[in-house]
Amino acid sequence: MSDRFADRLDPATYAADEPVGAGTSDDYSDWAYVPERLFDRLEHLARAYDLHILPSLHPHRRNELDHDRTASFIEELEFLVEVVNDPALVAAVAALRDAALRVLRDPIRSKKFLIEGP
């Protein structure tokens, strides 16, 4: 690979980006934040693979996912990690997946998964 584009795979490249936050609807202290450009990259890849949840999310508004849509969101993230070789994206996916898993662990399924852009 050319070194010319190596910075695009380095998570540090995106450290100063506006964040997209994700977490449960009842605990804002435990949210994960990913750089907006990496969230954008996820959405573009999701569109390219005809996925359903990720492309429908708006990065600048509040998105609320119920238990079933959160499970689908996690499956889409895990699929994307399998088809790309992008350390920056893998780090973003890990943060989003961990935040989403907290919703799935809710035994009474009362929590919503929120994704909010800058």
The tens digit of pLDDT for each residue in 47-95 reads: 999 999 999 998 788 999 999 999 999 999 999 999 999 999 999 999 9
Residue 24: which of 90, 91, 109, 89 has the closest Cα? 109
Contact of 21 with 32, CB cutoff 8 Å: yes
pLDDT tens per residue, range 4-56: 988 889 999 999 999 999 998 767 778 999 999 999 999 999 999 999 999 99
Structure-block tokens of residue 35: 């750089």
- What confidence category does residue 3 fall into, taking pLDDT thresholds of 50, 70 and 90? confident
* Average pLDDT of the segment spanning 95-99: 95
pLDDT tens per residue, range 100-110: 998 888 877 77
Contact of 93 with 84, CB cutoff 8 Å: no
